[in-house]
């Protein structure tokens, strides 16, 4: 997604989300305080509490905001050619600019808290469902057009998200920028050899 912290805005909620984005990237999740977000916001903590009662409320809203950002990014994908569209979606999911690794660090911390914070889990599930729906739709479209083999589109969307989530975790845990590049190549090979119709001599597939 495009760095949302650099454009001027007037909506206070949007401005607080951008301040949260910057504060998370700088301090991570565990060390994030309303004070630190207020510092980025340039106003008092009361100005934030006017909109959000607790840090958890604010962060739940932030996870919604991230999904909206992704939806905006996806709307930029204009092509309807299934193979090209799938490529571009995978680019949006995996080809992140370097400076977003900080955000991935904070998000992995929040992800690891999902078993303890139902509101986080709900958001991560919603985000995952949305992205899988996008992937599944384009795969189904490709099957209809005969570009992709008669695969199980629901499963294949989960398979691709497994690669995406693996990349994000590995980038953070191992501090490996290349984890995203590796995953992009893995997803490409997977699509070319498992999904695309003309890649297999007999059209069959182990399951």
Q: How far is the CB of 47 from a copy of itself (least distance, A)?
A: 29
Smallest distance from a copy of itself to CB 123, Å: 10
Q: What is the DSSP string of 156-167?
A: HHHHHHHHHHHH
**Minimum CB–partner distance for residue 2 and a copy of itself (Å):** 24
Please, which residue, 15 or 186, has the CB nearer to a copy of itself?
Answer: 186
Q: How far is the CB of 11 from a copy of itself (least distance, A)?
A: 30
Beta carbon nearer to a copy of itself, 13 or 203? 203
98 close to 180: Cβ distance less than 8 angstroms: no
Q: How far apart are CA 79 and CA 17, in angstroms?
A: 30
Q: Which is nearer to a copy of itself, 79 or 162 (CB)?
A: 162
What is the 8-class DSSP label of residue 27?
Answer: H
User: Using CB under 8 A as the criterion, which residues of the chain lie in contact with a copy of itself when the complex forms?
Assistant: 28, 30, 105, 108-109, 111-116, 121, 124-125, 128, 155, 158-159, 161-170, 172-175, 179, 182-183, 185-186, 188-190, 192-194, 199-201, 205-207
When the beta carbons of 13 and 162 are compared against a copy of itself, the nearer one is 162
Long-range contacts of 33-36 (CB under 8 A, 24+ apart): 34/58
Question: What is the distance between the alpha carbons of residues 125 and 104, in angstroms, rounded to a whole number?
Answer: 17
Alpha carbon distance 76, 32 (integer Å):
32
User: Are 40 and 79 within 8 A, CB to CB?
Assistant: no
Residue 46 CB, shortest distance to a copy of itself, in Å, is 29
Smaller CB separation from a copy of itself, 113 or 137: 113
Rounded-to-integer distance, Cα 177 and Cα 188, Å: 18
């Amino acid at each position: 997604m495009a760095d949302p912290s650099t454009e001027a805005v007037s909506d206070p909620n949007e401005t607080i989300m951008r301040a949260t984005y910057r504060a998370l990237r700088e301090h991570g999740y565990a060390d994030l305080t309303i004070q630190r977000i207020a510092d980025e916001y340039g106003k008092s903590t009361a100005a934030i509490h006017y909109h959000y009662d607790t840090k958890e409320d604010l962060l739940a809203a932030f996870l919604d905001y991230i999904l909206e950002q992704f939806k905006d990014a996806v709307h930029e994908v204009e092509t309807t050619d299934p193979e090209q569209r799938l490529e571009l979606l995978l680019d949006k999911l995996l080809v992140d600019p370097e400076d977003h690794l900080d955000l991935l660090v904070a998000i992995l911390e929040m992800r690891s808290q999902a078993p303890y914070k139902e509101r986080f889990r709900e958001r991560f599930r919603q985000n995952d469902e949305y992205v899988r729906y996008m992937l599944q739709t384009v795969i189904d479209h490709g099957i209809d057009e005969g570009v992709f083999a008669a695969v199980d589109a629901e499963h294949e969307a989960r398979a691709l998200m497994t690669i995406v989530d693996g990349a994000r975790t590995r980038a953070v845990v191992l501090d490996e920028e290349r984890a995203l590049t590796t995953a992009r190549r893995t997803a490409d090979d997977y699509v070319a050899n498992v999904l695309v119709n003309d890649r297999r001599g007999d059209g069959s597939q182990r399951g």
